[in-house]
Chain A
């Protein structure tokens, strides 16, 4: 997609307010459990979580494809909880793209304006405008199955934008693309979203994708919200063990906190975090672990095993009976025997505290 400054006239982004949203399937399955969430005008908010955590259900509830069991959905202060999907100014980009197989690219994109019975000329203008936005001006006559996965995804995006929705929903839009393309398309989506300033809700189970694309990320688990925050906050200050584990990987080492510093097996490192003094669980990111240089403070660890991966080496150590996983770059240690004792230090950026187990 080239970055010509096409601006879609008439998109008026809205806020979305979920209040006490509850969705039950059958009698026992609670897919979304009393969720409160406010989505700012023009922001891209990602719902992130493992499969079955309720993120897609929330998306479908906002879309109107499902009815909430309880709670309210407000779009710009209008309660739309009981409004049929086709009356909400919301649209969705599907995981499978859901391009109509019996229509060409132009007809697919034109669908929404045709259904709204707009005059012929307006239809053509808006379709061309939308196709230009995603960089597919000359593809109108193509059959959709003659396009690559990335192009199909962009057609789906153009088809959604053409009706000028007030909220745009993405349901795992990149999961059918290969890894390289995925990076490209997600950048395209992000830049288009920022250019148009359209309120967007994005569902994914890929944490890297979530961090890369979002203004804010909502981490969900078993129908409830674990944490809401910017990508940076989620990574550096996870609110729970689940969030720490789900976004990136993490080690959890028991320790003690006194308001100024952490103590792990006698290794004191200064740390400031809003946390009561006493026993804590110290979360350490694998890439925050380094070998302590001569004379530096560090924690005693036993070397267990390692795997050389080129740019980094993956180590497994034992710290006070806890297995700790570390990725250390460079040629930190070339030869070691199982059982050797080493001294390790933790980098400030990759350390955070959680309540004790």
Chain B
């Protein structure tokens, strides 16, 4: 991250300005790095010094302009001028230097070297000082540079990679060509109707579905005595709905399969999430709430496909329930049922967390008012509670939908003969070696997910991170009707038993000789893991830890800029961060492959690209934590600091950081844990020597090495749980001390 240079502002005799610009130091740094370090690099390693690749040796006219810009900036920054005027001049010199450098890389497609990185970063810092001193950006050089750098990062690491996916879908061998897109979209792997059960052809069957539903909805409208246009509209809508049902039932390709799974998973997750949220807040029986707290932590510490993997132990061909208990040898979990169950188990806690917020922000006084007006529990629930939680339900529904569409791990393990959009992105690139096809799948998936995402945003109003966090208001909460509570408790009980069985089966599986055949105790799998998996596990932990720090810092910076500063491009930064949050991991993975395989950004097959992918993937997690933390702090504290002549970096260090220790550590831990458990976005980016734990684990599951996979899964879950409990406990103790001072 760019850091302001520590210059002492010397005030002129009676004026209030800077005698010289703070840009002099970065300008000097730019000149020095330009002259002493290589601008390009011969291959992947960064730190090779190749004499031919010095800017002076390369001798390109554009590179001379870079030097000119740096020198001019240096000279101008020392001139005695009005601060604002000098700032304007420095904007010009800085832009010329930076622009020439960037242009040269785009045109020459040379992999950039360490010198270029430092020189251009220093020029960005010059520009930051200039923008601040000229008054073009309200804020000091740190703020101005941060805005610049964050915007550049959003363009480079979020927008540009996604753009390359779009480009790869329609541009083949350098020319615009829709044939690949057409071929992909008409291929049976993508969309295919099939009716294996009876003689009637599938298209006819689908049409019949359309007709039946149309007639039913039309008849219902007539029965309700609606006007003629309404009846007609209902007929059409019913017909469309019927056709969709037909397509989902008889469709075999990736699109119908993904959508059918969504149609099962999203409503189920939402309803279960609602049930748990209601129980969590209003159950009469306390232990229920404790168990819900546990449920809410599970998805964080568990790699997304671990439950799918555990389901093989329980319900697979040699599963302890299916084979051990009922002596069946069935493959039924491979396909939509298995994927749907695994996704429901994985995503319900997410829906629960979202709905818990909206349930707890309900004002109990409203329900009390209804009851004083003579409404019973059921009436209250129907007329007051339900309409108020409806927006929350919509949000939970759409979020489950997005998660289900983007899910990669579960379908790849349990998909069986059904293919999914997210897995096809991967398979077409790594199995069929067809990048254009992968891009086409990526575009379809991206369109679906972003569509759902922005519908959700529109629905809830505003595209801001700053969500309304409901304060739990005081007042007696109306207990839910007893019959409902018993029913819901039963659901929760079944759920808990099932999930517990899954987790236990992983632990047991890691100690059993051969699952389904020989259950004698062994530590063989752990020995295997120590040999083949431990170095990878350590490497993963290192990469995750390295990525967590910039993810947290960048996330905090974005949150701080977006919620505390108004600047040109603020919406853009916000949008970019949302985009990186909403984009399915596989699409982002493919995008990074496309974007960073050639040219100045030759980064593939390195740890750097994995770290970059993880940083920008997990940045939104940190943003959310930081926004929530910042919302608790009165902005006038920062203004007071500014008014006492502290620069914003000083304000951050002395005021905001001490008050946000807890938030920052939490953000760091979540960024680390989610980097450890990530799979979809990094599966493309691993390379020999840069293997990651989750990817290795997935490979073992696919090869049928279930024992050692269970061992690694156990170690992953236990270590993540340990990290969260210990470190968060520590952070809470630190912040408790700060709060005690606060009162």
Smallest distance from the beta carbon of B393 to chain A beta carbons, Å? 33
- For A160, list chain B residues within 8 Å (CB): 643-644
Stretch at the interface among B27-35, B284-292, B344-352, B650-658: B650-658
Q: Would A96 and B634 be within 8 Å (CB), given that A67-B138, A84-B132, A115-B646 are in contact?
A: yes
**Residue with the greatest number of chain A CB neighbours at <10 A, chosen from B18, B140, B636, B658:** B636
**Among the listed stretches A87-95, A189-197, A225-233, which one makes contact with chain B, having 4 or more residues with CB under 8 Å of it?**
A87-95
Are B139 and A84 touching (Cβ within 8 A)? yes
**Residues of chain A within 8 A of B639, CB atoms compared:** 63, 65, 92, 94, 98
For the complex, is B741 an interface residue (Cβ under 8 Å from A)? yes
Residue in chain A with minimal CB distance to B648: A86
In the complex, identify which listed stretch (A74-82, A214-222, A240-248, A338-346) lies at the interface while the others stay far away.
Answer: A74-82
A143-B743 Cα distance, complex, nearest whole Å: 9
Contact A115 B138 (CB under 8 A): no
Q: How far is the CA of A94 from the CA of B642 in the complex (A)?
A: 12
How far is A169 from B643 in the complex, measured between Cα atoms in Å? 10
B641 interface contact, C-beta 8 A: yes
A102 touches B738 (CB 8 A): yes
Chain B residue contacts of A335, Cβ below 8 A: none
B500: interface (CB < 8 Å): no
Q: Is the CB of B18 within 8 A of A86?
A: no
A190 CB to nearest chain B CB (Å): 21
Taking the nearest CB of chain A, how far is it from the CB of B632, in angstroms? 11
A112 touches B658 (CB 8 A): no
Contact residues in B for A84 (Cβ distance below 8 Å): 132-133, 135, 138-140
Which of the segments B8-16, B451-459, B705-713 contacts the partner chain?
Answer: B8-16
Residues on the A chain within 8 Å of B410, using CB? none
A129 smallest CB distance to B (angstroms): 16
Do A86 and B647 have beta carbons less than 8 Å apart?
yes
Q: In whole angstroms, how far apart are the Cα atoms of A145 and B741 in the complex?
A: 8
Residues of A within 8 A of B87 (CB): 82
Give CA–CA (A299, B640) in the complex, Å: 56
Give every chain B residue within 8 A of A83 (Cβ-Cβ). Answer: 16-17, 83-84, 135
| Nearest-neighbor residue (CB-CB) of A162 within chain B | B644
Q: Min CB distance, B643 to chain A, in Å?
A: 5
Given A101-B659, A102-B659, answer yes or no on A65-B642 (Cβ-Cβ < 8 Å).
yes
User: Which residues in B have their C-beta under 8 angstroms from that of A331?
Assistant: none
Which residues in chain B, 631-689, are within 8 Å of chain A measured between CB atoms?
A: 634, 636-637, 639-647, 650, 654-655, 658-659
Contact for A86 among B135, B637, B642, B738, CB less than 8 A:
B642
Contact A92/B643 with A98-B634, A100-B637, A145-B743 known, Cβ cut-off 8 Å? yes
Cβ contact within 8 Å between B645 and A163: yes
Looking across the interface, which residue of chain B has its beta carbon closest to that of A60? B639
Task: Tell whether A111 is near chain B: CB-to-CB under 8 Å.
Answer: yes
Q: How large is the interface on B (under 10, 10 to 19, 20 to 34, 35 or more residues)?
A: 35 or more
Least CB distance, B19 to chain A, in whole angstroms: 11
A78 & B15 in contact (Cβ 8 Å cutoff)? yes
Q: Is A307 interfacial (CB 8 A cutoff)?
A: no
| Cα-based distance from A87 to B645 in the complex (angstroms) | 6
The residue that A101 contacts in the complex, of B139, B645, B654, B742, with Cβ under 8 A, is: B742
In the docked arrangement, what's the CA distance between A116 and B643, Å?
A: 12
Q: Which residue of A lies closest to B634 (CB)?
A: A96
Interface centre among A102, A111, A116, A156 (most CB of B within 10 A): A102
Complex alpha-carbon distance, A84 and B650, angstroms: 15
The answer to whether A95 touches B650, judged by C-beta atoms less than 8 angstroms apart, is no
A156 to B30, CA, bound (A): 43
Residues of B with C-beta under 8 A to A67: 135, 138
Question: Are A86 and B654 neighbours in the complex by a CB distance under 8 Å?
Answer: no
A96-B636 in contact given A80-B16, A145-B742 (Cβ < 8 Å): yes
> With A and B bound together, what is the CA distance between A146 and B740 in angstroms?
11
- Contacting pair B643 A91 (CB below 8 A): yes
Q: Do A82 and B84 touch (CB < 8 A)?
A: yes
Q: From residue 700 to 743 of chain B, which have CB atoms closer than 8 A to chain A?
A: 738, 741-743
Residues on A with beta carbons closer than 8 Å to the beta carbon of B658: 102
> Number of contacts between A and B (CB, 8 Å)?
112
Chain A CB within 10 Å — which of B16, B654, B659, B741 has the most? B16
Q: How far is the CA of A280 from the CA of B647 in the complex (A)?
A: 56
Q: Is A159 an interface residue (CB 8 A)?
A: yes
Interface status of B302 (Cβ within 8 A of chain A)? no
Is there contact, CB below 8 Å, between A91 and B644?
yes
Whole-angstrom distance from the CB of B209 to the nearest CB of chain A? 51
Query: Is the beta-carbon distance between A89 and B16 smaller than 8 angstroms?
Result: yes
Assembled-state Cα–Cα distance A43/B658 (Å): 38
CB of B93 within 8 Å of the partner chain: no
- B645–A86 contact, CB under 8 A? yes
Q: A92-B639, A102-B738 are in contact. Are A112 and B644 (CB under 8 A)?
A: yes
- B residues less than 8 Å from A143 (CB atoms): 741, 743
How many angstroms between the C-alpha atoms of A44 and B482 in the bound complex? 67
Bound together, the chains give a CA A95 to CA B409 distance in angstroms of 54
Determine the distance from Cα of A91 to Cα of B365 in the docked complex, in whole angstroms: 44
Contact pick for B646, options A63, A111, A156, CB 8 Å? A111
Q: Chain A residues near B11 (CB, 8 Å)?
A: 87, 89
A113: nearest residue on chain B (CB-CB)?
B644
Query: Distance in Å from the Cβ of B731 to the closest Cβ of chain A?
Result: 15
**Contact among B18, B641, B743 with A111 in the assembled complex (CB-CB below 8 Å):** B641
Our pick among A78, A90, A159 for the contact of B17 (Cβ within 8 Å) is A78
B335-372 interface with A by 8 A CB criterion:
none
Interface centre among B138, B636, B643, B646 (most CB of A within 10 A): B643
Q: Does B134 contact A (CB under 8 A)?
A: yes
Residues of chain A within 8 A (CB-CB) of B644 are 91, 111-112, 115, 159-160, 163
Quick check: A102 and B742 within 8 Å, CB to CB? yes
A315 to chain B, nearest CB (A): 43
Complex interface: chain A residues within 8 A of B634 (CB): 96, 98
Q: A75-B16, A98-B636, A102-B741 are in contact. Are A116 and B645 (CB under 8 A)?
A: yes
| Chain B: CB-nearest residue to A166 | B16
**Once the chains are docked, how many angstroms separate the CA of A99 from the CA of B641?**
10
Q: Give the chain B neighbours of A169 by CB distance below 8 A.
A: 643
Residues A94 and B636 in contact in the complex (CB < 8 Å), given A84-B140, A88-B16, A160-B643: yes
Fill in one digit per residue for B160-171: 1 if any A CB lies within 8 Å of its CB, else 0.
Answer: 000000000000
Q: How far is the CA of A82 from the CA of B138 in the complex (A)?
A: 8
Set of chain B residues within 8 Å of A82, measured between Cβ atoms = 83-84, 87, 134-135
A136 interfacial contact with B, CB 8 Å? no
Asked if A95 meets B140 with Cβ closer than 8 Å, knowing A78-B15, A78-B17, the reply is no
A78-B14 in contact (CB<8A)? yes
Residues of A within 8 A of B17 (CB): 78, 83, 87
Which chain B residues border A75 with CB–CB below 8 Å?
16
Q: Does A185 contact B (CB under 8 A)?
A: no
| Chain A residues with CB below 8 A from B640, complex form | 92, 94, 98-100, 156, 159
Q: A65-B642, A92-B640, A98-B634 are in contact. List 5 more A-B contacts (CB 8 A).
A: A63-B643, A91-B645, A101-B637, A101-B738, A112-B646
Sample of 6 A–B contacts (CB below 8 Å) = A84-B135, A85-B642, A88-B16, A100-B641, A101-B659, A116-B645
In the A-B complex, the 5 residue pairs with the closest CB atoms: A82-B135, A112-B644, A145-B743, A98-B640, A101-B742
